[in-house]
Structure formats: structure tokens, C-alpha cells
Amino acid sequence: MEEVFSVKLGKMKVEILATESLGVRSMSCLVTAGSLRILIDPGVALGPRRYGLSPHRREVQTLWERWFGIKKALRTADIVVITHYHYDHFNPQEPGLFRGKILFVKDPERRINSSQKRRASAFLPELSGIARIEIADGRVFSFGGVLLRFSEPVPHGETVKRGYVIQVLVEHGGFRFLHTSDVGGYPLEGQNEFALFWAPDLIFLDGPSTYMAGGRVPEKAMGNMAELLRSGRLKKLVVDHHLLRDVSWKQRVKDLVEEARKRGVDLLTAAEFMGTREMPLEARRKELYFR
């Protein structure tokens, strides 16, 4: 695996550990604010089937490499955030990794669908006596000069069938970083209100799942994402996760790319943000098998 480095922005450092442009399903990142280390969504997964094909061995190798990096970050993290209970956002198999951590989690009882509720009810009791667990939904926490702000739950994409997620804003030294979790590019009315209100400098955004919709980008999602670019404070918009499962993602959101250029906002994949080469392996699974 190529060596990557954290990106320093103001008094904060952000390192995206795993996501689709880095070869796996994930939105895992490590934020260093002052002396505080915050790990958001320590999970990683592979798409079980794409184009009728199982994951290629290169995808499997990358999965283990990225998971090794997440585990390494977990050992030194002070705070861990789990925005929802999908396995590409948390891993329930090694509860000992959370020992001694402050764990902020999506409420396992309120505004949650049945499958995520089952996963949470199996996972969280394993952490009893190991970690300090805090329900994060809609709350604000202060650690010295670092603020953690959590949104109220919003739908996972276009419907509530896949449950709800919470977004997390980290603020330190006048700099704001927003991790949107699985919002799917904000396809619903009001879904981007948290982002607009707190006006982040940097956003790590989950783009629309165009690969499951015949290349369609919901009209409202395009409008809501463009609204972020016009908010005036945003400097960098990292768009990744579901959107990067589509080999033609840039064409799908070409109007957004052009709007970002006009506004002077850097629109980047996570790989570009981290200064490493793009590896959207799932989107290129056919190439891996048949090239």
C-alpha cells in the first residue's frame, strides 16, 4: 500500500484512511485537533457482487491493508465516532480495539431501522466496561479547544428504508471539518441544513449512488451539493464513497465540477485530497478480472 500523509488545514490535520477512491467501501478518517485524535467510522468492506463478479484478489488485499491502517489509528485515537451501523462504517468483530476510548454513536433506539438496530444491540453490549459510550445525536461536546457537533439523524440517502445517519462537525482553531456520513449527496429537502448552518471549511461528502440508479443523480442532490459550494466559506469538497463506485462519476456530476471551478472550491476525491493515486477497484472490477 502506498504511504499517505495527513493533510494539515489550519490547526487541524485530516487523514482519510479508507474509502472507494482508495480501493474499498468506507468513509473512515482520522482527525487530529490540538492533542486530540478523533477516528470517524472505523469500518471497511467490499461490494459482494459487481458485474456478476465476486471481489478480485487485489480488492481483498487492499481491504486488509486499509483495515490494518484503521486498527493502527484506533490504538492511538482518544475518541471514536460511529455514524451508523453499516459494516463499512464500523467493525463489530474486535471490540477490544475500543478499550479506553470515548465512543460517540448513533442512537441505537431512536430513528433507526430494524437491521441497524439489531447490529447495534449485538455490538454495543460487548463494549460494556471497555469504553465510555455516548449517544451523539443532535449533541455538542467540548474538549478543551475542540468542539464536536453532531447533527440530528437524517435519512441514509433518498429514503428511510436504509435507516438514518448522523453527521459530525469537528471545530478547532477557527477551522471546521464536516464528515457527512451516508447522506447520498443530500437528495432530500433540508438534508443539508446542518452543513449550511455550520459552514465548514472542508467537507468529506458521500456522493449519490449513481451506480444503482442507471447513472441518475437526483435533481435535489445536485442542487443541495451546489448550494454548499455557494455558501462562501467552503474551501475543499471531498466527494467519494458511493459516487466512486461509478466509473463515470465525474460525467454524472459535471455541472457540480464546473460550479466548484467557478467558485474557487477544490472538488476532489479522497485519493486526490491525500495526494495518492486513485484506486476505485470496485468500479473497475471487470477490468481487474479481464484486462
CATH number for the domain that contains residue 201 = 3.60.15.10
| φ, ψ for residue 147, nearest 5 deg | -110, 135
Assess if residue 39 is contained within a domain: yes
Q: Produce one character per residue of 3-25: b if its CB has 16 or more CB atoms within 10 Å, e if not.
A: ebebbebeebbbbbbbbbbbbbb
Assess if residue 290 is contained within a domain: no
Q: 246 near 210, Cβ under 8 Å? A: yes
| Residue 185 DSSP one-character state | S
CA distance 157 to 280: 21
- Return per-residue pLDDT of the chain as tens, 291 residues: 333 344 556 679 999 999 999 999 999 999 999 999 999 999 999 999 999 999 999 999 999 999 999 999 999 999 999 999 999 999 999 999 999 999 999 999 999 999 999 999 999 999 999 999 999 999 999 998 999 999 999 999 999 999 999 999 999 999 999 999 999 999 999 999 999 999 999 999 999 999 999 999 999 999 999 999 998 899 999 999 999 999 999 999 999 999 999 999 999 999 999 999 999 999 999 999 998
Assess if residue 2 is contained within a domain: no
Q: 273 near 4, Cβ under 8 Å? A: no
Domain count, the chain: 1
**Parallel, antiparallel, or unpaired for β 236-240 and 202-206?**
parallel
State which residues form the domain around 204.
7-285
Assess if residue 1 is contained within a domain: no
Assess if residue 96 is contained within a domain: yes
Assess if residue 183 is contained within a domain: yes
Q: 58 near 279, Cβ under 8 Å? A: no
Assess if residue 203 is contained within a domain: yes
Q: 208 near 243, Cβ under 8 Å? A: yes
Assess if residue 79 is contained within a domain: yes
pLDDT of 2 reads 38
What is the pTM assigned to this prediction?
Answer: 0.96
